[in-house]
Amino acid sequence: MRGIIDLNSDELPKIQDKNGALKRPPAGKAAVENLKIDAAILRQSLVAQAGAEIIIYKDPTEAVSTGVLGDVVMMSKQSYFETFEAAPFALVADGGEVTVTPLPINRAAIHVDATGGLQTASGIYGLRFEFSRATLKSYPSIEDAIMHAVVQGLARTGDAVLTAGIMAATPAAFSLAAAAAAGVRMSELRGLVGTAGHGAAIDNNGVLRAAGIAAELSPDLSATIVGSFARSAVMIRSDVEVVVDRTNIDGSLAVTAWAGLQALLPDTTRFWTVAA
């Protein structure tokens, strides 16, 4: 059996059963709240909390007529994540020429081909659960639990995809001088402390900091990153395919989910690493 989870419109199942008992909610979610899946991903994602955009993407298409018979084909329209920087004016002396300034726009293309499939610049990510009929019967709301696990997994995978993209650019060592030279404001800077704990400390107010910058712990990288996450994004395809298969005559089942994600990093020069 195949199905589609629509991240843009589907809601997470309620975490309160018919008898009023509460199931364990994801962090930050009220028990009586209805929550769309896209909003739930935003709440769970560490890079989103640091300022990155989470783009729940549905391939935009446009109907175009062709030929004298008016045949219609669907044309995929290219989409981008763009960042814009300040373009400073320069003093020009009387009779002088204006110096040409590089266009202060950076863009990263969302890679979807004309058939709606992901190109190689994006990644296809999957997960699979297998459980027996006895397990299925012992968890009367196992479908709801799987849905919550999938949504939290998408958020964490998005974090891993973006941080891997940042690290692939081999960012330089962080310093306040480097951030100032890059035109980054102090309020923009956020840190993610990886499993090595480089440069991390808890200040007198109980706030985790990396090289003095407010930070959060991340299990999905070993290094520590500081940067302007508002200049980055993660694309997640809006349709997540779910396949349910019977794996044994005893009623055992397997649930497989497929999702497409892509890191969007038009400008990696405003990310740095923190040494141990």
The mean pLDDT of the chain is: 83
Residue 87 lies in a domain: no
Candidate ranges 31-40, 118-127, 214-223; pick with highest mean pLDDT: 214-223
Looking at the chain, the whole-number percentage of residues with pLDDT higher than 90 is 49
Q: Which of 77-91, 163-177, 232-246 is the most confident on average?
A: 163-177
64 within domain boundaries: yes
* Angstrom distance (rounded) from CA 244 to CA 257: 9
For residue 92, is it within any domain?
A: no
Going by pLDDT thresholds of 50, 70 and 90, the confidence category of residue 166 is: very high
Report yes or no on 88 lying in a domain.
no
| For range 21-44, the mean pLDDT | 61
- Asked whether the beta carbons of 251 and 68 are under 8 A apart, the reply is no
Give residue 139's pLDDT: 79
Please name the residues in contact with 64: beta carbons below 8 A apart, sequence gap of 6 or more. 72, 73, 74, 75
Query: Residue 35: its pLDDT value, please?
Result: 62
Burial of 184 (0-12, 13-18, 19+ CB in 10 A): buried
Does residue 11 sit within a domain? yes
Distances (CA, A) of 210 to 53, 160, 181, 217, 258: 22, 19, 19, 10, 35
Question: Which positions ≥6 away from 129 have C-beta within 8 Å?
Answer: 146, 254, 255, 256
**Residue 14 included in any domain:** yes
Domain of residue 119: give its range.
2-82+104-273
Mean of the pLDDT values across residues 106-129? 70
Is the pLDDT reported for residue 141 higher than 90? no
> Mean per-residue pLDDT for 110-115?
58
Q: Which pLDDT value is given to residue 109?
A: 87
* CB atoms inside a 10 Å sphere around CB 197: 13
Question: Reduced to 3 states, what is the DSSP secondary structure of residue 57?
Answer: strand
pTM to 2 decimal places:
0.82
Distance CA 163, CA 179 (A): 19
- Report pLDDT for 117: 44
Q: Are 153 and 127 in contact (CB under 8 A)?
A: yes
Identity of the amino acid at 141: S
Q: Is residue 91 part of a domain?
A: no
Instruction: Give CA–CA dist 20/258, Å, rounded.
Output: 33
Please say if the pLDDT value at position 26 is more than 70. no
Residue 259 pLDDT level (bands cut at 50, 70, 90) = very high
Residue type, 241: E
Report pLDDT for 250.
80
* Residue 39 covered by a domain: yes
Confidence tier at 75 by pLDDT (50, 70, 90): low
Q: What gap in Å lies between CA 194 and CA 173, rounded to an integer?
A: 15
The count of structural domains within the chain is 1
Give dist(CA 224, CA 171) in Å, integer: 11
